[in-house]
Structure 1
Amino acid sequence: MARLQPKKHRLPYVGKSPSSVPPVSNLFLPAHQINGSAKHKSQGQYQDPVGRIASNPGRSSHGFKRKLAAMKSRLIRSHRSPSSSSADPIVSEGAQEDPEPRQVAQDVDTQGLPSKAGPDPEPALAGDDLDVARQVFESMKPIPRAGEIAVNTVAQASTAVAELQNLSSTYLQPLKMFNNVVTTIANVHPYAQIALGILTAASQLIITQANLDSAILELLKKVSFVYAFLLEDDTIKNIDAMRVPLAKIAQVISACVQFIRDYSETTSFWKRLGKNIMSETQTAIGDYTKTLDELMQQYRDRQSRDIHINVYHVLEDLNMEGMAYAGGAGLDTMKKCLENTRTEILQDVINWVNDTHPEAPRILWLHGQAGRGKSAIAHTIASWLKDVGGLGSCFCFVRAKQAECREEKMLTTISRDLASRYPAFRRAIGRVLAEDPSLKTTPDLLQQWQKLILVPLSEAAGGIVGNVVVVIDALDESGGVSWRENILLLLTSTEAANLPSNFRILLTSRPLPDIERALRGAIHVRAMCLDDVPAELAERDITLFVSKKLLSLKDTIGHMGIQRIVHKSNGLFEWARLACEFVDPSRAFGQTVEERFMSLIAVPSDEGKTLLDGMYSTILDSVMPKSGTPFLRFRSVMRQLLTMLEPLPIAALNHMRSLFPSEEEHYDVVIILQFMAPVLSGISDHTLPVQPLHASFNDFLTDPLRSGPYFIDTSDSSDLAHASLQVLYRELSFNVCGLENSYLSNSQIPDLSERIKSNIPQHLSYSCKFWAKHLEVARFDLSLVTSVQAIVESEKILFWIEALSLLGALGSAECSLAITV
């Protein structure tokens, strides 16, 4: 066997298990430098910083060459004396220890690893190894010197990888613990929850990372330290109060994880640029480390200071010239919600953003009438996501800028934003554009959607930290219905339903008919209606808003004055905002604050009435021509609505209209009302009564000075008087509810309400109660006189009284009859 060990080429690292072999990157270092990293290795065992005993890499099999190296080491170890087995042949060559050991050794030393040696191998086991090794070596031919070196190099490389994996596993423990603990954290601000969501996603991406480069082990160590800091009781206790530094920590951690994830691509890029890879790496790690240390100190000091965050995204050169971009269509932080308002809604949206379930809806449609605060919520979410590095893109439509044709630039703008934010997406879209440069200028929405969004997003999904959120605000203010039809087809397509599970689209709009028809039935679209927010929550938030806006006027208007403004707003944030501006002293030219306040609350002056006039005019301009048959029908339907004394659902409106004297008025009101959803309720849900969402809309339409061509004259109610009388004559009957006993009082009939609902339709109930009121303000017409006589001079009058009794409106009978005299 001596021939296998020439004296001039002595096998290195004999006398120790393969686990004591220095990392492969040390093979070409002087022996005295290697000694520093080897001093904490024991015979076959390695104790990590948290006290775990890692498995002996020498016992695992990774190919024939490694088996061979392990056998040789065991064979030689078995022939050495106990004293020689503990000696380090490299150190025995007389080299001195380097005061600056290799970086990996620093990582180990800073954790305070003990130098305790592992237990000696059992004699029986050593004997078994020796017998096996002898049999193998006796059956083999001598190995050439080059092959011998290669065998040992492979063994050393495998051991280095195992050691790196052990160290990585040690640093990953706080990340794994964080993932377990974060699920138990509750009752924190939605802003803090966004940060926690990013931190969780970042930790998961690192944990599942297949390969880690030794050069970035120091950065992993710092990331591990940050997660350990986040697990401290004092840190968790103050998460809500220190959510701003927490968000910045999340942003930097996200950038660190992305840097670790993309390190191989990053070094390749640096190499192409001729940069010093080690120097660039150390600079990036140093900046990240310094920033994280400062942010953690801010957290400890309970302070929040501005800090510049360098993000080392390697963005390969990508020529996007010619690819349309809508400048000025992005995030507007001035539109954010006031602090501590809309918390329930914001919480709901954040829960959707952070939802990791693979079947979570990809699109959230936030809709509601004009003035409900949709844009404020959208920009708040976008701003929070940007703070933690989780905003993919924010694209906003503005009606005043329709001339810019933003709708044609939406998908290309979103694609460019994603490319600038996520290196993996940038690389993917770079490949797409390299194959087909014409995609940069194509006006084809389908190609833009598939090639500039879906394809690169699918390729990049696994390399992105957290969920990608794209905010599209005010879709209803985009181009015409024809363009919206195309984009709605894309958003409701099968491809949209199968978007990567970490992709989200937050979409806001008014419930225009075309948008509602498209989105309402899509299974991957979740609808959230701001009109359904409980009145008490809206009033609470508007009170906070108005109180803050009018803080300087609290002594002038007082608490009661603020409450009156809040009440008059009817839950419309936009009205409240404009009302606050209206009473602002800087805008009260020629009037005192008290005077403007009283004109706003009591009978609004011309200035007060214009608060929402601009909004209403804009809405009507977008859906209604000012001439022709559609415009005449608009005025007729709105006259019917505004002269109604009690709102009715669409079915009842249509029934009444079918009885109008002129046949030209016999059409379905839906052809007009379907476009009025932004200002009327009961349009999308036909079971609800149709009525203005805000009293100011009624005021606007009935004042010719304010509404101009949209003015509605409500002075004549002849059509409704005629229709009501026709309903009474045709539908009133004896014992209309089919009561079995006429001697029982209404209170004694247990199912009376069900009987009324089944037998007295809404249009009949309305006609019974209000026919006389309409008759009172109708123009004189002989046909109306005839209709009245047909009722009051017949048994129909008794049936009418019975119906009023059942409806609980018998007290109005006297007044109604007095009108006919």
Structure 2
Amino acid sequence: GIDILVEVSNRDAAHDSSVRDYDPRCHPGTREQHIEDIVYWAVPAAGIDDPLPLFWMKGLAGVGKSAIAQTCAEKLKVLGKLGATFFFSRNGRDKAAEFIPTIVYQLSTKFPDYRVLVDHRIRNDKTILDKTMAVQFEALVADPLQELEKAGKEIGKRIAIIVDGLDECNSADDQCKIIETIAAAARGGTTPFCWAFFSRPTPHIQASFTRTDVTRITHTTVLPISTDANSDIELYLRDGFENILRDRNISTKSQWPSDDDIQTLVKASNGLFIYAATALRVVARAGSLEEALRAVCTTTFNYTCKSPFADLDGFYMLIMRRIPPDALTTVLLLCHVLCNLGSYASDSQTGVMFWGNMLGLSEIEFRAGCNHLSAVLHVHDHSDSFDSTQFGDTGRPFQRTTPAAIKQLGTHIRRQLGGSIYFYHKSFVDFLMDPMRSCKFCVGSSPIINAHYKNSLEVLFKYEESYSLQGLELVLAPGVPDSASSLSWPYANELVNSALKAWIYEWAFETCFYFGSLPQIEHQLLQRFGHINFRKARQNKAMVLGGDGGFLRSARWGCRGYLKMIHRTQLFRTTQDQFQARFNVVEFKAAIELWKECGIIEPRYPNLTSRFKSVIPRKSQGNVISGLYRIGHGPKSVLWYWEINLKEEYYQEFLAADLAEGERVYRGERFDLWPTKWL
């Protein structure tokens, strides 16, 4: 049971995970009052009534919430009062489905009796981990703890659990569900935990915490952008510059930086620790310390963009302007994909070899590009922990291994192969996504979106030429010696290279399909998309899914959902909450007309079997809107059926080379396509 729990939890979300080595923590001597307040709330003095069970620290980007959360977790661990932690982040730690399993697993490592009960419950009912968040909490947290209490084996009183970055959980609805689930348990007194949340005050989180039944059990504090933090920031800067000199073995009789320089940076920080932290990284990574310091100190007064984060934005503009012109497009493309992770795929892709190959860069070229952003971008090395032999014969293609091995290998490739890459702070993402703040460096601009689309098309055409279809199999084309020959940054063996290549091919196809609905995409690029080999792309998808029945998180038309392969038929369905929140019928119909205009699709009017007519409507029927098209050209094309059900609130589709086969699979799977937890 515990082994299953480990698989669905996120070990990187713990406060002491190696992945978080470079994440912020409070500098000694800073933020002391805030830290003391939280520790005192979690561990009140003897004779003091227990404070409220929930604590919420809210504040804008860059004020130091995560650093305080990290430091509090470390102090509470020393005191023996830390139960578990979950640090949400867009960098692969943003899935609500991993929240309860991760908390449960961490608790199970600390309390042996609790571990036995959890292990037993999961072994008896493996579907527990497919249930709703509230059911999981009841079955794996509240019930086992109450059972231990009745047996006289309670785990203790007032054990702290810290949840940081709740606003970076990938669904606003799930953020609210987490608050509701924890608040319900706190009101009922079913667990001995006190919960500390750290987040931005987004409207939905604010609304959840200000509900009457939640606010009465929550201590709320604001971490403001304030010059009150200036003394802490000054101390942080002085110690940081001393460390820079020490790391370079430089001793100086005169003070460096000068007091004036320090005060300039303190003033520019304007209460934002992220500004000071980024300034130190810029100087530390520069060839000339003095030149970098001068640039940092002078840029603060040369930026006129109207923004609450004007000085921080000016600093970010300095970083972007220092990128050489010949490297700028590549760097912006990398920023674009990193900023949009989770938008068109809910599984974070942060593996550096994945993105290096996707952008057609060698290892040297990729790392050189990353170095231009070293003050805001971190590359974490995972190479020591990877043993490809665990997945099978390293000399054979990955599809010759087991479905379980294919899944595990794919996850590692997308997330960690060659290292993982992420931004130090979400404020830089916000800057890059806002054209009013980043101006010509905005990664949501039409030129960058089209450059990304063009790059993905080039990957598709290059990779499809290196494959041949042999019946139901996709194999290397004649004259292609191995998978490494298609990669700009290959691994050491065919097993990993074949999987890496297949996942890049899959990602490129999904990117073109997803972005193809955007009005910004140039028509000539859309016309090229219509000429790819859809049959090869579909078979490649079957390979990365591990064959029949494999599932994959994906997205269509701005909505996340789940994709499934049955034989040679690809099926997709949105989740209901995504359909409700994001599906736009008018925009969808406009995209269909655009695709017809660009020659990507053409309507099909086949002689459907009588049974199929009842399953697939030929035209709009009340609450159901549908269409059947050929997508692509000639022998490279497939049939594409889509259906929108306004009453039941879903969008679903299938792609198949043969209509009769697609009919059979769709009819058989239509109402039993997705596990209950996804609907």
> TM-score, normalization: structure 1?
0.35
Higher-strand-fraction structure: 2
The structure whose Rg is larger is 1
Higher relative contact order (CA 8 A, sep 6+): 2
Instruction: Tell me the TM-score normalised to structure 2 length.
Output: 0.42
